[in-house]
Structure 1
Amino acid sequence: MVDYLWNTQSPLQKALVPGRHGAAGAHAGVTLNEVRDIVLVQVMARRGKAAETAKAAKKLFGIEAPATPKAVTGKTATLIWSGPDQFTVIAPRTDEASQLAAMVQVFAGSASLSDQSDGRCLIRVSGPRGRDAIAKFSSLDLHDLAFPVGAAANTSVDHTAVNLWRDANGADGHPVYNMLVFTSFADSLWHTIVDSSLEYGVEAASARAA
């Protein structure tokens, strides 16, 4: 009898080639990371239960759930607006079963949950030329005044749906952008970002959620 083993692997297993690519120089203009080991849950308030859902989120995560296009970060999770009365929870994977159980318990009766942990891929773009690279394939205005830290948007990249939000600036003082995409399109988006970054020099790697 054949023994089938199912091993979880990154959707960028083949596309992500760690190291420096493109233009040479002392420092890469773009840093590109796949963020792994995350728990990702879509929370959708039931009809007439938006206030209860927001209260439950505050109880569990200690932060107000976003009611407008933005991302808010607490001690244990980041909540990203994904539509009217709904948001996405992203947290570092510690004990996934207990993390999901806690959400099921606190949102019982007020919201519907959809575990997307293995259905989405999180890609992070940073560095002094990160914004310039993204501008090549995105129509969003990422100027500091139009898209400050905490801003979020549902957008499209090459006909692919992407949730994009801005994190706090990196240690180097430059903007940090996150892109959440369905795993089946992650390979295509990754190549698009790499190709757009080559003229600036790009450093590619995977990173654990923190």
Structure 2
Amino acid sequence: MSAPDRRSRFPASQARKGGRSGDAPLAIVERPATLMQVTARKGRQAELAAAIGKALALELPEAGRVASAADNTALWLQPGSWLIEAPAGQRRVLPASLTQALNGIAAVVDQSHGRCIIEISGAEARAVLARLCRLDLHERAFAVGDSAATLVGHVSCLIHRADGETTCFRLLVGSTFAEWLLDEITAAAASYGWSFNSAGEAAA
């Protein structure tokens, strides 16, 4: 039996604003999504790529990269394994359709309840993350579409650059560590000011 659907990983009492008041506070948003991990069976990686292309019109990216098409995104996890991010509304249909499309080609695991997406954006997004991780996040070193597994604060995350114009980064984290990660981010952003919207609010 699957876990009960939870729109948000954060309690309703979670603070919505904090830190110093400013003209451009850091925007922190929990993004609802359907998350599917697909791992090619031995010797069938090319078949997996072709099947994903046919099913989702999505090209599987190389190591350290993210690829998007329409409403779907693929993130490289490790050799032969990717995370497919789709709209939250696909949660009831995508697991079954991918399992059928990839039967015998890949293992398919629904990670929608196991992982959480926290998006941070704003003029100071890079500066805040620089306080929390050792990656060089300057656009020359970490461009739109780049991704990396790293520690943010004390939490292991998969981070990728989602947008250049708004300096937007997305962090994928285990759901049980989501509140801890949010605390780390808001503490680092206190000198700039921040606002937070949960997935329930984003979907409302």
- TM-score normalised by L of structure 2: 0.90
Which structure 2 residues correspond to residues 33-182 of structure 1 after superposition, within 5 A?
33-36=29-32, 38-169=33-164, 173-182=165-174
Instruction: Measure, in 2, the Cα distance between the counterparts of 1:174 and 1:97.
Output: 32
Q: 1:201 aligns with which of 185, 193, 197?
A: 193
Secondary structure at 1:17 match in 2:
coil
Total equivalences in the alignment = 198
**Does the aligned pair in 1 maintain the 2:24–2:122 contact within 8 Å?**
no
Secondary structure at 2:95 match in 1:
helix
Secondary structure at 1:188 match in 2:
helix
Instruction: Measure, in 2, the Cα distance between the counterparts of 1:184 and 1:95.
Output: 22
Secondary structure at 2:112 match in 1:
coil
**Does the aligned pair in 2 maintain the 1:194–1:202 contact within 8 Å?**
yes
1:14 Cα deviation (Å)? 5.4
Give me the identity figure in percent: 31
Seen in structure 2, the aligned counterparts of structure 1 residues 25 and 158 have a Cα distance that, compared at 3 Å, is: closer
1:159 Cα deviation (Å)? 4.2
Q: What is the aligned partner in structure 2 of residue 32 from structure 1?
A: 28
Q: Which AA in structure 1 matches 2:97?
A: A
Instruction: Measure, in 1, the Cα distance between the counterparts of 2:19 and 2:69.
Output: 36
1:62 Cα deviation (Å)? 1.1
1:202 Cα deviation (Å)? 0.8
Instruction: Measure, in 2, the Cα distance between the counterparts of 1:144 and 1:119.
Output: 30
1:15 Cα deviation (Å)? 6.9
Q: Which AA in structure 1 matches 2:48?
A: T
Secondary structure at 1:94 match in 2:
helix
1:11 Cα deviation (Å)? 2.1
Q: Does 1:13 align with 2:11?
A: yes
Seen in structure 2, the aligned counterparts of structure 1 residues 109 and 189 have a Cα distance that, compared at 3 Å, is: same
Instruction: Measure, in 2, the Cα distance between the counterparts of 1:64 and 1:15.
Output: 40
1:98 Cα deviation (Å)? 1.7
Post-superposition CA distance 1:135-166 (Å, at most 9, x none)? 00111110101100000011123443211111
Instruction: Measure, in 1, the Cα distance between the counterparts of 2:12 and 2:194.
Output: 17
**Does the aligned pair in 2 maintain the 1:152–1:166 contact within 8 Å?**
yes
Post-superposition CA distance 1:35-61 (Å, at most 9, x none)? 12x110111111111111111111112
**Does the aligned pair in 2 maintain the 1:16–1:205 contact within 8 Å?**
no
Seen in structure 2, the aligned counterparts of structure 1 residues 197 and 119 have a Cα distance that, compared at 3 Å, is: same
1:26 Cα deviation (Å)? 2.5
